[in-house]
Structure 1
Amino acid sequence: MDDQLAVRLKAYEGRPAAVAGVGKDPVNAPMIRHWCEAMGDHNPVYRGPRAVAPPTMLQVWTMGGLSGHAGRAPAYEELLGLLDGAGYTAVVATDCEQEYMRPLRPGDEITFDTVIESVSARKTTRLGSGYFVTTRTDVRAGPERELAGTHRFRILKYAPAQPKPPAQQKPPAREDHRPRPVINRDNAGFWAGVERSRLLIQRCTACDTLRFPWLPGCTTCGSPEWDTVEASGEGTVFSYVVMHHPPFPAFDPPYAVGLIELAEGVRIVSNVVGVPYDKVRIGMPVRLEFRRYDEELTLPVFQGVAE
């Protein structure tokens, strides 16, 4: 049954989900202003006569609202219906990826095409077993329909897992259940540095602004070009919380989680270790160390330094 279903699902790869879609509104300054206010982004490149739209608004200009879009192809709804009929009735959005080719400016008319890019093999997750479905939307702008960006959106269509009776449950292995970081094309270099016991900070090569966490572009000047500098490892506790609840198998509450201000001026969230949780204080000096939690996971943490 599953093999037959997998063959039918794979047949949808490459089929269109939307053809010659048209944005309901051109790129416009009011929407940009609302977005920036909601995000707390005060970058001047998003204002004035030469303004550009924030790159992460890429999907905004393609959204159809309650009435939807003309040009929708039936393949995507057919695919979801096929999964529903096979018992994979639940859905959760898992992630999205965006690539930017050219900035969008107020007045740009938007067109787009969406294709079903891939359907995974059946996967087993903690939510239940199901299939990851990825669509790719190519967003174009202007009369020449110049490619402005690509938006990939991924969902999991799954059959909810049935909880086991308490007698059948096994206590989870603590380290095996420690959460893993989500690694993507924007932050892969950071985690590669962690594996080499290096804490790397992005630096804009246009204006030299340091930034953390890693981002695809500079929040000061908008440049997408960057290199890295290695953190010295010295810092102070800028703020912190003590976690008491909820309990989680991989952790032993209470423990301190700090917002650490590095000597370079950027801030990072991590555990404060080596001192009792009730002795952590704002302004406490800390020093970076790398802890290996298992054969796959290394994390940067900060050791409290006695004054």
Structure 2
Amino acid sequence: MGTEAVDDVDPIGDEELYERLKTYEGRPTAAPGIGKDPVNEPMIRHWCEAMGDTNPAYTGPDGIAPPTMLQAWTMGGLSGYAERSGAYDELSALLDSVGCTSIVATDCEQEYLRPLRPGDRITFDSVIESVSPRKTTKLGAGHFITTRMDIRVDGEPVGTHRFRVLKYAPPKAGSASRRQNESHPSRRPSPVINRDNAGFWDGVEEHRLLIQRCADCAELRFPWLPGCGGCGSPRWEAVEASGGGTVYSYVVMHHPPFPAFDPPYAVGLIELAEGVRMVGNVVGVPCDEVRIGMRVRLDFIKADEAQELPVFRPLVDAATAAGVV
């Protein structure tokens, strides 16, 4: 994304607007809260059943909560929380006033500092951590807003949750940016690359499909994670997968249409020969001929000038592959 000027934003000057936006950084989005329920075994069980996670670390008298449940313990349910700061609403209204009336969630990040256990009662507070300078995107020009929630137990930090949105002005009909978007193919959204998965994307650049193997129990895993789901070890090594696999499940995407994607297309959950599963497009065959059990092989496509992506192609023609179901 760049920061070049466009012709469809801002009656206020960029510098003046950004100075006003920066004043919201550090302001709370809500009053400090207390989780409505303590960390508890029934919610952990429901979560694990929904996710299909059978890790024994989450069961029994010494069980812990799955780290990815971090935000769940802060949620207010249908009744919500009584006190809400006006800072975020004011920030949103200011951006609305300069034409940034649309919003899209872009990504979130979580950091885990210690496990949560049944009986823990969490407290949390949330602030507007940062507002970016104006950015030009394929959706339109606008500002990224990052909020940060800090979560504690008995005053001890246990985790952090960051959530980022883009508040933007969609190009106006007849504007130069709208005409440019219509005359040039849209670029595919780039994957979020962080310290936990950077090795995987390094492998993709070399046309290698890398998965992780625990250095203690040798369990293979994908997607990339900072620790082993089997034994909890943080030690691991990268190994190259053969690239062969079968379609374990799939969906055919028809709606909604989105720039850079041309529906209908098939997205498969691929069971690799090594036993782990990954999500990827199934290409090289009409999407209505993809079948569960179809044998596929790894390939790489150049999505645009900036990124390559792993995809899967049938090993044989669709009619033969369908016969293995």
Instruction: Give yes or no for TM over 0.5.
Output: yes
1:58 aligns to what SS in structure 2?
Answer: helix
Shift of 1:277: 6.8
**CA separation of 1:9/1:260 partners in 2, compared to 1, >3 Å: closer, same or farther?**
same
- Secondary structure of 1:5's counterpart equals helix
- The 1:32–1:152 alpha-carbon spacing in structure 2 relative to 1, beyond 3 Å, is same
**Which 5+ residue runs of structure 1 have no aligned equivalent?**
none
Instruction: Give the 3-state SS of the residue equivalent to 1:59 in structure 2.
Output: helix
Q: Which AA in structure 2 matches 1:220?
A: G
Alignment of 1:33-182 (within 5 A): 33-65=45-77, 66-70=79-83, 73-142=85-154, 145-164=155-174, 171-174=182-185, 176-182=186-192
Q: Counterpart in 2 of 1:298?
A: 308
Shift of the alpha carbon at 1:194? 0.3
Residue 100 of structure 1 deviates from its aligned partner by 0.3
DSSP 3-state at the match of 2:217: coil
Q: Quickly say closer, same or farther: Cα 1:68–1:252, change in 2 above 3 A.
A: closer
The CA deviation at 1:55 is: 0.9
1:151 Cα deviation after fit: 0.6
Contact conserved, 1:21 with 1:69, CA < 8 A, in 2? no
**What secondary structure sits across from 2:145 in the alignment?**
strand
Shift of 1:104: 0.5
Coordinate RMSD, CA, aligned: 3.4
CA distance in 2 between partners of 1:239 and 1:110 (Å) = 38
Residues 233-262 of structure 1 deviation map (CA, whole Å, 9 limit, x = unaligned): 233444556778888786777766544332
Identify the residue that residue 223 of structure 2 maps to in structure 1. Answer: 213
- Checking the alignment, whether the CA contact within 8 Å between 1:270 and 1:300 is kept in structure 2 is yes
3-state DSSP of counterpart to 2:48: helix
Letter in 2 for 1:27: V
The letter for the 1-side match of 2:306 is E
SS in 2 for 1:147: strand
Is 1:24 equivalent to 2:25 in the alignment? no
Per-residue deviation, 1:152: 0.5
Q: Could you tell me the TM-score, scaled by structure 1's length? A: 0.80
After TM superposition, give the deviation of residue 54 of structure 1 in Å.
1.3
Question: Structure 1, residues 64-95: CA drift from partner, whole Å, max 9, x if none?
Answer: 3434155x554333323332333433333322
The number of equivalent residue pairs is 302
> After the TM superposition, which residues 268-283 of structure 1 pair with which residues of structure 2 at under 5 Å, given as runs?
268-272=278-282, 283=293
State how far apart, in whole Å, the 2-side matches of 1:152 and 1:248 are.
26
In the superposition, relative to structure 1, how do residues 229 and 87 fare at CA in structure 2: closer, same or farther (>3 Å)? same
* Secondary structure of 1:77 counterpart: helix
Aligned identity (percent) is 69
| Alignment partner, residue 277 of structure 2 | 267
